Structure 1
Amino acid sequence: MNNITSNSILVVDDVPINIKILLEILTQAGYRVSVAKNGKSALEKAEEAIPNLILLDVMMPGMDGFETCRCLKANPNTKDIPIIFMTALSEPVNKVKGLQLGAVDYITKPIEHQEVLARINVHLELRRTQLKLAQEEKMSSLGQLVAGIAHEINNPVNFISGNLIHAEKYIEDLLQLLQLYETHTKVTIPEIKIFSTKIEVDFLKQDLPQLLSSMRKGSERIEQIVRSLRLFSRLDDIECQLIDLHESIDSTLVILSSRIKATSTRPTINIIKKYGDLPLIECYAGKINQVLMNLLANAIDAIDEAIEKLESITSEQLPIIWISTTVTSDEKSVLIEIADNGIGISQDVQQRIFEKFFTTKPLGKGTGLGLAITREIIVEKHGGTLDVNASPGQGAKFAIAIPIRQGIY
């Protein structure tokens, strides 16, 4: 499995004493360390379990550090891993060569304890910041795109919806007029009778109102989706604002409706809502919508993963997501609980689930940032709490507490 392992470093060196020193320094600093003793092994290990950073020796037999770096940077799966060269070569030409190949830094041997940790910390933090900015830029761009699409859809939908009101009234009048002709006209005109039979006028009188009703429901559904898109893509996150939390949850569910519907492998996910009587809460609306999207999308992923492991689905295994809201006993916060009957989460994973870049999903399916950003939004930006309670095979429940008032004005 290709997993991004949080706080992991791959050490590539063929000298045992160097490996021993680095293992001691890095493990004491809290890093998870893997070791490769040559370039080929480094390529395999980096592909198998993507580290956050690679310490790469330059002078190695066979494939040297420069060639190893070139191969790592040529691989789409490993090209973004920061690489720090370790070398006794102090000539500028060697450093330039390494940097041109894509390395981010150099450590000169013999290795100095504090320098190694300082350089690693700098580049890991830089990488975290780059990824976070990229994620925020993506969300911002997505928000602007969605808001634009919602606006473009809204205009013609309003036109259709407004005209449907008149169309329904016109057709109702015409059907009443037709009924009056049929009631008061005693003479049967053959041409009219033939044409009435041809167009099935009795069926038409019954079906037209139903047809208009279906169009009305379709138009209302589009309006609901547009409202949800506009709510979800709020771009006014500079200041806190008062929001209806239930409206935000419902909007997120509308956006996720295509994922909630039945697929070829499972029935429609049953959404069970138990909403309490909540006040408007003061928050960064767009950020809270992002939290709801992350948690609900994860619940759907967990359900899909659980069902993939089943040969058949019994009535007890039908997919369900429970959403409940209430005011906490001290009346200072609102509590949102989102639970599923998906694959569940092991205790080991629960301990690391909110770490940046930690993910159990295959490469390309997850960045390891979703729950980390969720926790940051709830805990750091809103002063709330985020807890998880789960067991393997027993589903998971996430509990969010958000202060009703932020107290920043």
Structure 2
Amino acid sequence: MVLQNLQQTQLQLLQHEKMSALGNLVAGVAHEINNPLGFIASNLQPAIDYVNDLFKLIDLYQTKIPETELDIADEIAAIDLDYVREDLPKLINSMKLGVERISYISTSLRTFSRSDKDYKVPFDIHEGIDSTILILKHRLKASEDRPEIKIIKEYGNLPQIECFPGQLNQVFMNILANAIDALEDSNQGRSFAEISAQLNQITVKTESSEDGQSVLIRIRDNGIGMTDQLKQKIFEHFFTTKGVGKGTGLGLAIAHQIVIEEHEGALTVNSTLSKGTEFVITLPVKVTASKSVQKIMVKSGE
């Protein structure tokens, strides 16, 4: 028992340092993005106004001086003024959409890397899942060996829950990364055409419990699945099916510990060999009063 407690403490310290370093890196990147992003965003509308003013001036010139000099007419034809007039606003609007997209990415990075307080706070589960998917997007893209891994979201109408958002984002990261690994393992020995015929996909479904006291997050892949023996060991510390250097056996054990011990929830796995795996996270909407008081007393040293 003492050895198990020591292992759990070491595990917590190791993962805390790892996630702290990752969080600082991601938060720093998001901060650096915001400065030039704000500059571009604030100047796009004035640029649109200036372009419209110039077009109005050109229209006025053409009205007042309908017969243009030959060299001016040649230049108008060379630059294809009518096309520029039509395409330039579209070009600027595309830039505006790009800025909005980067802004969304920056916000998602900040959501993922947010630091937890000493107490649970209200949190939108969907924001956490979306920010985690964004972080993993590079692993979902198509490659020479396979098409893109499709993410299917089936979000229910969830209330905000009291939790440690940073820790839950870590749970989502570990489970989603594990699902991607499972899909990549299932692709071994299959051609691009074979994988395309049965696309890799991960379904994320959320719903409230019937009594409204908890929320359920189901993360399901259509990968290789696992045996009953493997399911019994999946949450054990340092247990991994990955090769040397590819896994520590800590990710799912940490996710289990965060859900069970820190959030008074449940984390279960359903799987059928060759048909895929589903992880089900159950979280209470509100922390129990007794647990909350105990946390505060421990943190305050009483």
TM-score norm. by structure 1 comes to 0.67
1:373 and 1:127, CA in 2 relative to 1: closer, same or farther beyond 3 A?
closer
In the TM superposition, what are the counterparts of 1:20-169 in structure 2 within 5 Å? 122=3, 126=6, 129-169=9-49
Residues 82-125 of structure 1, C-alpha deviation per residue, up to 9 Å, x if partnerless? xxxxxxxxxxxxxxxxxxxxxxxxxxxxxxxxxxxx9xx74x76
The answer (yes or no) to whether the contact 1:225–1:255 under 8 Å persists in 2 is no
2:75 to 183, 195, 216: 195
Within a 5 Å distance, the mapping from 1:232-271 to structure 2 comes to 232-271=112-151
| CA apart distance, 1:192 | 1.2
Alpha-carbon spacing, 1:134–1:315, altered in 2? closer, same or farther (3 Å):
closer
Mapped contact 2:146–2:196 kept (Cα < 8 A) = no
Q: CA deviation at 1:177?
A: 2.9
**Residue 394 of structure 1, CA deviation:** 0.6
1:127: Cα distance to partner? Answer: 5.5
| Aligned-partner residue type, residue 198 of structure 1 | A
The higher-RCO structure (CA 8 Å, 6+ apart) is 2
Q: Deviations over 1:140-186 (max 9, x none)?
A: 11111211221111111111111112112221222233234334432
Question: In structure 2, how many angstroms separate the alpha carbons of the residues matched to 1:369 and 1:162?
Answer: 45
Matched, 1:289 2:169: yes
Shift of 1:131: 4.5
Q: Does 1:206 align with 2:86?
A: yes
Asked if 2 retains the 8 angstrom alpha-carbon contact of 1:262 and 1:268, the reply is yes
Count of equivalent residues: 289
Deviation at 1:281, TM superposition (A): 0.6
Counterpart of 1:313 in 2: which secondary structure?
Answer: helix
Amino acid at match of 2:61: Y
**What's the secondary structure of 2:118's corresponding residue?**
coil
**AA paired with 2:145?**
T
Distance 2:50 2:128 in 1: 38
Pick from 276, 280, 286: which aligns with 1:395? 276
Q: Which amino acid aligns with 2:272?
A: S
8 A Cα contact 1:237 1:285, kept in partner? no
Secondary structure (helix, strand or coil) at the match of 2:194 reads coil
SS at match of 1:172: helix
Higher helix share: 2
Residue 280 (1) aligns with residue 163 (2): no
Q: Which whole-Å deviations, capped at 9, do the CAs of 1:308-346 have from their partners, x for residues lacking one?
A: 231332555111111111111121100110111112112
The answer to whether structure 1 residue 358 and structure 2 residue 239 are counterparts is yes
Matched to 1:171, the amino acid is V
**Ranges in structure 2 where 5+ consecutive residues have no aligned partner:** 294-302
Once the two structures are superposed, residues 164-212 of structure 1 have per-residue CA deviations (whole angstroms, 9 ceiling, x without a partner) of 1211222122223323433443212112112222223222222211221
Equivalent of 2:204 in 323, 339, 359: 323
CA separation of 1:227/1:217 partners in 2, compared to 1, >3 Å: closer, same or farther? same
Q: Which moved more, 1:215-224 or 1:349-358?
A: 215-224
User: Which protein is bigger by CA-based radius of gyration?
Assistant: 1
Question: Which 10-residue stretch deviates more, 178-187 or 270-279?
Answer: 178-187
Percent identity at matched positions?
Answer: 49
| Distance in structure 2 (CA, Å) of the matches to 1:126 and 1:240 | 25
- 1:383, 1:203 → 2: CA distance? 62
Once the 2 structures are TM-superposed, how far is the Cα of residue 261 of structure 1 from its aligned partner? 1.5
Asked if 2 retains the 8 angstrom alpha-carbon contact of 1:378 and 1:385, the reply is yes
Distance in 2 between the 1:256 and 1:217 partners? 22
Cα offsets for 1:340-365 (capped at 9, x unmatched): 11121121111100000000011111
Q: Secondary structure at the match of 1:401?
A: strand
Retained in 1: the 8 A contact 2:146–2:195? Answer: no
What is the aligned counterpart of 1:310 among 185, 190, 200? 190
Distance 1:214-1:240 versus aligned 2 partners, 3 A rule: same
Structure 1 residues 271 and 160: CA distance shift in structure 2, 3 A: same
Q: Secondary structure at the match of 1:387?
A: strand
Tell me what 2:57 maps to. 177
Q: Give the CA RMSD over aligned residues.
A: 1.9
SS in 1 for 2:100: helix
The residue aligned with 1:31 is: none
Structure 1: tracts of 5 or more residues without a match: 1-117
Q: 2-side partners of 1:383 and 1:126: how far apart?
A: 21
Instruction: State how far apart, in whole Å, the 2-side matches of 1:182 and 1:313 are.
Output: 61
Q: Do 1:237 and 1:286's aligned partners in 2 also have CA atoms closer than 8 Å?
A: no
Q: Contact 1:354/1:372 (CA < 8 Å) preserved in 2? A: yes
- Cα distance in 2 between the residues matched to 1:249 and 1:236: 16
Structure 2 CA distance for partners of 1:143 and 1:314, relative to 1, 3 Å = closer
Does residue 104 of structure 2 align to residue 224 of structure 1? yes
Aligned position for 2:225: 344
2:214 and 2:283 in contact (8 A); partners too: yes
Mark the CA change 1:350 to 1:263 in structure 2 (over 3 Å): closer, same or farther.
same
